[in-house]
Copies of this chain bind each other. A is one copy, B any other.
Amino acid sequence: MQQRKGAPLRYDAQRNRDRILEVALAELTLSADAPLSVIAKKAGVGQGTFYRNFPNRESLVLEIYRHEVEQVADAAPQLLKTHPPAEALRAWMDRLAQYAMAKAGLADALRKATTHGSLMGLSHGPLMAAVTLLLTANEDAGTIRPGVTPDDFLLAIAGIWQIDPHGDWHPRAARLLDLVMDGLRAGAPGTPGGASTD
């Protein structure tokens, strides 16, 4: 631990890190098991430098994933401004699905690099914030049942990471998301019926 917590990286070091991330995104999106040595070489850095920045495959993949998913997360506030809560939630899920399909190689890399699907290892940060925002807006509007946690939600839509992006993914994703939406609605203030707790 030679690097103090807040201290900025040296100029060239920062540049190296950025190049690694840039190359890694491209390579991993293309193929989930692109060798780290290839990424290092294409980024123009030595193996050692690569390792200084990312001590293992998981840390690299998580960092990229985190950065990429931020962009989807950022769409949430905007959607809530322009749509009623339930529609915003559903539209956001669609975006996430689209993202999951576009970056399927990356999602695959994440699955392989991490123990358990820690797609939710991102327990804090923008993704969680976005989900929380969407859920509370809907809960307040009475469009979903109260008490659904972001964790519940992410588990419920976990299936989207499992859909094959080749072939006809769109209807499969839509059916899954519809089903989840119905599950979320069940027991909402307006709706009768709903959650069984025997």
Q: Mark A87-121, 1 if CB is under 8 A from B, else 0.
A: 00000000000000000100010011001110110
Contacts of A176 in B (CB 8 A): 152, 155-156
Contact of A193 among B117, B148, B191, B195 (CB under 8 A): B191
Inter-subunit contact B159/A163 (CB<8 Å): no
Most chain B C-beta atoms within 10 Å of own C-beta, residue among A117, A119, A157, A194: A117
Q: Mark A34-77, 1 if CB is under 8 A from B, else 0.
A: 00000000000000000000000000000000000000000000
Inter-subunit contact A187/B197 (CB<8 Å): no
Contacts of A112 in B (CB 8 A): 111-112
Within A100-158, the residues touching B (CB, 8 Å) are: 104, 108, 111-112, 115-117, 119-120, 148-149, 151-152, 154-158
Look across to chain B and name the residue whose beta carbon is closest to the beta carbon of A107.
B116
Main secondary structure of the interface of A (DSSP, over half): helix
Contacts of A159 in B (CB 8 A): 154-159
Inter-subunit contact B192/A179 (CB<8 Å): no
A162 at the interface (CB under 8 A from B): yes
Look across to chain B and name the residue whose beta carbon is closest to the beta carbon of A104.
B116
- Using a CB–CB cutoff of 8 Å, the interface residues on chain A facing chain B are 32, 104, 108, 111-112, 115-117, 119-120, 148-149, 151-152, 154-164, 172, 175-176, 178-187, 191-197
